[in-house]
Structure 1
Amino acid sequence: MGHDIRYISRIAIKSHALMDFVTEWMEVQLPTLDVTHEYWTMYFDGSIMAPGLGARVVLISPNGSRLRYSIRLYFLASNNTMEYKALINGLCIAIELGATWLYVHSNSELVVDQFMKESSCKSRLMVAYCQEVRKPEDKFQGIELHYVPRKDNDAADFIAKIGC
């Protein structure tokens, strides 16, 4: 005689349950994507040239739009003071425009070094300006300040030389 073979149907795992498991497992296993931040770029310059003292700022949005700002000051000031005024006003404008990531370029090596804490401020006035420029710093998620030679700071240098 033969073998006694009986067929018993088994309860199958539903296919969607298996797919749910695989999907959940894959989400955990996938590496997190590197989020690219949309940086704004700012150039600033100060001028003590006639017809008046001025601080100028050029902001470039992530999509390439150039926004130019010119600030006229009605008091006597040094070139370093003008540079700090340009930086302070530029940071405030960038915040108002919604910039949270900012590359800043200046041809004022002194201001850049003092901001980056590579150089100490010698006068009380420069200490006060350095402290003032740090106030809006916490409004940014990322900010970098770089020294550029005057020839590479054409955008801000040009508007710094024209009158307000």
Structure 2
Amino acid sequence: MATEPAHWVVHCDGSAVPNPGRMGLGAVLVGPGGATQHTISEATTFTGCNNEAELRALLRALQWLEPQVVATATTVQVLSDSSVLVEQLGEQAVAPIERLAPLFDEARRVLQRFAQVDLQWVPRHRNGAADALARAALGLAPKVATPHGRTQKRRR
């Protein structure tokens, strides 16, 4: 009898302050059954743009997830508020961002190790926990929600 594949959900976000500048990575990994299994809030030792921070947050989350799912058929759903990340890693070909091409290639290689991958763009307000973790890595307060799902920066 075949077993049902393990399903993981990854919420990822990155911040660059200023842009480009210091990068903070944030991710929330939700395991089978819906419970949060792991969170990531890390600052990098180098600088980059917001798109690079978003991509590095995903790679860091997949680095953590990969050993957890060795030898199992696993599906992963990636939720990101970065349309660039979702477009670059999606099934439809888009013009590459040359400077980030090696990182996107690395992400594609890692994602191929999973039985099924679903990349999905979500509005920023549905990715708040990952955003707060990325900002916290840089010593910044979370963004404050305002009416209509908009956010504003909280003063330090």
TM range (shorter): 0.7 to 0.9
Tell me which of 73, 82, 87 is aligned to 2:53: 82
Q: CA RMSD in A?
A: 2.2
| Greater Rg over alpha carbons, structure | 1
CA distance in structure 1 between the partners assigned to 2:53 and 2:93 by the alignment? 18
**Following superposition, which runs of at least 4 residues in structure 1 exceed 6 angstroms of deviation?**
none
User: Retained in 1: the 8 A contact 2:26–2:132?
Assistant: no
Q: Check 1:138–1:122 CA distance in 2 against 1; reply closer, same or farther (3 A cut).
A: closer
Residue 63 of structure 1 aligns to a residue whose secondary structure is coil
Alignment match, 1:127:
101
1:49 corresponds to which residue?
17
1:71 Cα deviation from its structure 2 partner: 2.3
Specify which structure has the higher proportion of helix.
1
1:69 aligns with 2:40: yes
- Give the strand-richer structure, 1 or 2: 2
Q: Which amino acid aligns with 1:113?
A: E
TM-score by length of 1: 0.71
- Pair 1:155 & 2:125 matched: no
1:127-154 superposed Cα distances (whole Å, 9 cap, x missing partner): 2221111111222111111000101112
Q: Which runs of 5+ in 1 are unaligned?
A: 1-32
Name the count of aligned residue pairs: 132
Query: For 2:42, what is the secondary structure of its paired residue?
Result: strand
Gaps of at least 5 residues in structure 2 are: 139-156
Q: Secondary structure at the match of 1:101?
A: strand
Deviation at 1:57, TM superposition (A): 1.2
Cα distance between partner residues in 2 of 1:111 and 1:127? 11
SS at match of 1:139: coil
Letter in 1 for 2:59: I
Quote how far apart the aligned CAs of 1:125 are.
1.6
Kindly provide the CA deviation profile for residues 8-49 of structure 1, in whole angstroms up to 9, marking residues without a partner as x.
xxxxxxxxxxxxxxxxxxxxxxxxx89643311100000113
Aligned identity (percent) is 27
For normalisation by structure 2, the TM-score amounts to: 0.74
1:98 Cα deviation (Å)? 1.5
Higher mean alpha-carbon deviation, 58-67 vs 76-85, is at 58-67
Residue of structure 1 in register with 2:150 after alignment:
none
2:62 corresponds to which of 76, 91, 94 = 91
